[in-house]
Amino acid sequence: MKSQYKSKVYTDRPAYADFGAPDKFEAIKSIIVKRLIEHPNAICSYSGGSDSDIMLHLIETVRKLFNLPPVQYCFFNTGLEMEAIKRHVREMGKLYGVTITEYRPQKNIVQSTREHGIPFVSKIMSAGLEGVQNKKIPLSIAAEYADAEDKVAKRAELRERYPKCESTLNFLCGCNSLGEPRPDIQLVIGSSEYMLDFITENPIPFKVSNKCCTDCKKHLAHSVQKSFDMIITGERRAEGGMRSVPRKDNTSMCFAEDADGKYRLRPLYYVTDADKQWYKQYYGIRYSDAYEVYGLTRTGCCGCSISARAVKDLEKIRPYEPNLVKAAWNVFGDSYRYRLRYNEYKDARRKSEAHERLANEDAQLNFFETE
């Protein structure tokens, strides 16, 4: 059988990643203590979501147990945040006796999406499609590469034809920069079923980009965190997307020093959904009303169109915060509607192919019966 390509995130797993929840969290506590002792000038990004709640509880538990210096907490308000989340941030600050400082970006989400475009399907897909649109690379190069006998030579030719477009070429062709096929990784258009065929037959009617996240969170975070030695975030590999692929600053994705000398701690990186549920129940943690009352399973920038559940989640939010739902539709509506067309296209293709398989099987059966 053909072996599936796996990134370093999977192959370089630390031992504790496979522990049961109780032992895993004990290991994580030890990691947090060690790193806070080494780097006490630390800041932690707190979003008001469930991952952040688990992380806040972990940090404050070990910090008080070992009498460690206070950790600074920051909350980045993109402008599309639920009142339930903002309220929860204030409540958690009081509950733990910590200061969670709210920051807003210079360029809000409305300004950013108007300038660059809106996300579609995922951050990875959005970045790839933005490159296709901005660099005017024809979708047909995917077929050129697929049909080429010498794929390495074809990839080199495409580099000459479209200079400084490496990531976009890899995205469309499903390969790496050497020309080696990489169809199983998330960084290619083929990671979304029938996507290439769909956008070929149904050209995208709006600008696609994931830069709203960069403008509203990453740039703001960099500004806020630059005076601290260690940055703590609640990223988890189980969330998928960009958080499940290797990055330049590390391999294990838990603790590393990046190029500018900052230390980055991601204590929850190998925590699964089941681990979280165990922790929540064991320690009696209450998430925000967005989870406990509205019924959401994930939070973030309200209505973000990279979520497959965005439209359904907005309907859960509507009875409590109708104005915010209206604002989300104003920002991301084009992406919601296009995704609906994509989902319908996928369903039709799947049914058509299933019908074709059955027809072929019946034809083969009839052939053998008449022999």
Judging by beta carbons within 10 Å of its beta carbon (0-12, 13-18, 19+), is residue 181 exposed, middle or buried? middle
Locate the DSSP E strands across the chain.
42-45, 72-76, 100-103, 230-232, 255-257, 263-265
| DSSP 8-state symbol, 194 | T
Geometric angle at alpha carbon 30, from 27 and 33, rounded to 5°: 155
pLDDT of residue 251: 43
Closest of 59, 52, 50 to residue 25, by C-alpha = 59
Question: Which two three-digit tokens encode residue 273?
Answer: 């959904």
203 Rama class: left (phi>0) / alpha (psi -120 to 50) / beta: beta
Question: What number of helices (H) and strands (E) belong to the chain?
Answer: 16, 6
pLDDT tens for the chain, 371 residues long, are 445 545 555 566 788 999 999 999 999 999 999 999 999 999 999 999 999 999 999 999 999 999 999 999 999 998 899 999 999 999 999 999 999 999 999 888 999 999 999 999 999 999 999 999 999 999 999 999 999 999 999 999 999 999 999 999 999 999 999 999 987 788 899 999 999 999 999 999 999 999 999 998 889 999 999 999 999 999 998 875 444 444 444 444 688 888 778 899 999 999 999 999 999 999 999 999 999 999 999 888 889 999 899 999 999 999 999 999 999 999 999 999 999 999 999 999 999 999 988 887 777 766 556 66
Q: How many CB atoms lie within 10 A of CB 292?
A: 12
pLDDT of residue 10: 57
99 Rama class: left (phi>0) / alpha (psi -120 to 50) / beta: beta
156's CB contacts (< 8 A; 6+ apart) are: 179
Alpha-carbon span 154 to 209, nearest angstrom? 28
Q: Which residue has the tokens 């147990």?
A: 65
Q: Where are the domains of the chain?
A: 8-111+210-304, 121-201
Alpha-carbon span 282 to 291, nearest angstrom? 18
pLDDT of residue 2: 46
CB contact at 8 A, 189 and 172: yes
Q: What is the dihedral of CA 30, 32, 33, 36, to 10 degrees?
A: 160
Alpha-helical regions (H) of 83-218: 83-96, 109-116, 123-135, 141-147, 151-161, 166-173, 195-201, 211-213
| Fold observed for domain 8-111+210-304 | Rossmann fold (3.40.50)
Give buried/exposed letters for 339-349 (b at 16+ CB in 10 A, else e).
beebeebbeee
CB contact at 8 A, 169 and 158: yes
CA 322 from chain centre, in angstroms, equals 26
Closest of 38, 55, 35 to residue 47, by C-alpha = 55
155's CB contacts (< 8 A; 6+ apart) are: 145, 169, 173, 175, 177, 178, 179
